[in-house]
């Protein structure tokens, strides 16, 4: 079974819809992983981390917020692809492993023994 890339899933999702909020993407990701037979379906926090890393890399940007329906929740933030996100090839490290792209020394140090 081919390794599933959350970064590429987010890219495709935003290409198809134009904009989305992280929890919306998380729900779609869970459905897609289930349909492909993955038992482990990731977490919402992981999807939020991906949006943060992709934003730091300049591949996505916040494009709006939704009004608060519940004062105890944070405002829903919508994201869209940037021109850099559209121009960066899907097979690039930025999309396939944004954490490694942002923190190469840390990644190499912590994953050296797992090869």
Quick: pLDDT tens for 71-102.
Answer: 777 788 999 999 999 999 999 999 999 998 99
Provide the token pair at 50.
């991906």
**CA distances (Å), 103 to each of 57, 97, 106, 107, 111, in order?**
11, 10, 5, 6, 12
pLDDT tens digit sequence for 28-54: 999 998 888 887 767 899 999 999 999
CATH of 6-114, picked from 1.20.1250.20, 2.160.10.10, 1.10.10.10, 1.10.260.40, is 1.10.10.10
């Amino acid at each position: 079974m081919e390794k599933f890339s959350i970064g590429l899933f987010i890219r495709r999702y935003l290409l198809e819809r134009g904009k989305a909020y992280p929890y919306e993407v998380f729900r779609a990701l869970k459905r897609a992983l289930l349909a492909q037979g993955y038992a482990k379906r990731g977490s919402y926090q992981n999807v939020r981390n991906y949006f943060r890393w992709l934003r730091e890399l300049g591949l996505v940007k916040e494009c709006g917020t939704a009004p608060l329906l519940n004062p105890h929740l944070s405002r829903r933030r919508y994201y869209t692809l940037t021109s850099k996100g559209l121009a960066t090839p899907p097979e690039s490290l930025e999309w396939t492993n944004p954490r490694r792209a942002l923190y190469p020394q840390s990644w190499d140090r912590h994953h050296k023994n797992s090869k």
